[in-house]
């Protein structure tokens, strides 16, 4: 079993930046065949999502919001911006690892993220150590480019045909589902 995770943040500072949300998706690479392929809707429904209390991180955690990142969010779609709205269901950052553990059902053989210098760094800094051994970490950009796009002009963030109207960029659930679709 493999997992993929994606943070949405209010800073690019991997040590002290505010974390907005996280999506986690557990999937089986053996299903990457024509007969058992995942659908985008199925992946979205399988995705798990947690939204964090931004005010608590700033006030009690001394984490910081980056003004440039906040301005960047202002340029994103209305659908993506919805996650910026505080809610009574927002969780403290301390809930991250218990939440992740409760949403992983099997033994994890691979841990994917879209690049290994952003999301895994946030995770390691929040947890104060790497929760997964380094040999399990995978980078979807490298997988996609290495296996499918080598020697082509196509980009690793390509839109899977037929999903143009369904995909919401910078919504963590959509981001993890789309990367699994790209790898599939």
| DSSP per residue, 96-164 | HHHHHHHT--S--SEEEES-SSSHHHHHHHHHTS-SS-GGGEEEHHHHHIIIIITTSS--TTPPPTT-T
Check pLDDT > 90 for residue 3.
yes
**pLDDT at residue 150, as a whole number:** 75
Check whether 174 has a pLDDT greater than 90.
yes
If 0-12 CB within 10 Å is exposed, 13-18 middle and 19+ buried, where does residue 149 land? middle
Band (pLDDT 50/70/90 cuts) for residue 40 is: very high
CB neighbour list of residue 184: distance below 8 Å, 6 or more residues apart: 31, 32, 37, 38
What does the block give as tokens for 112? 């994917």
Res 151 pLDDT > 80: no
Q: How confident is the model at residue 149 (pLDDT cuts 50, 70, 90)?
A: confident
pLDDT at 121 over 80: yes
Confidence of residue 83 (pLDDT cuts 50, 70, 90): very high
């Amino acid at each position: 079993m493999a997992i993929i995770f994606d943070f949405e943040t209010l800073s690019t500072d991997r040590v002290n930046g505010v974390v907005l949300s996280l999506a986690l998706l557990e999937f089986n690479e053996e299903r990457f065949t024509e007969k058992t392929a995942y659908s985008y809707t199925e992946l979205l429904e399988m995705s798990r999502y947690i939204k964090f209390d931004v005010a608590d991180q700033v006030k009690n955690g001394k984490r910081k919001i980056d003004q440039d990142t906040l301005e960047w969010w202002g340029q994103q779609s209305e659908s993506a911006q919805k996650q910026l709205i505080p809610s009574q269901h927002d969780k403290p950052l301390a809930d991250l690892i218990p939440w992740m553990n409760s949403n992983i059902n099997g033994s994890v053989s691979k841990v994917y993220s879209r690049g290994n210098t952003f999301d895994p760094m946030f995770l390691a800094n929040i947890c104060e150590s790497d929760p997964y051994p380094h040999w399990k970490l995978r980078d979807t950009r490298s997988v996609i480019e290495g296996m499918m796009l080598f020697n082509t002009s196509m980009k690793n963030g390509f839109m899977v045909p037929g999903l143009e109207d369904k995909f919401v960029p910078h919504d963590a659930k959509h981001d993890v589902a789309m990367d699994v679709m790209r790898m599939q």
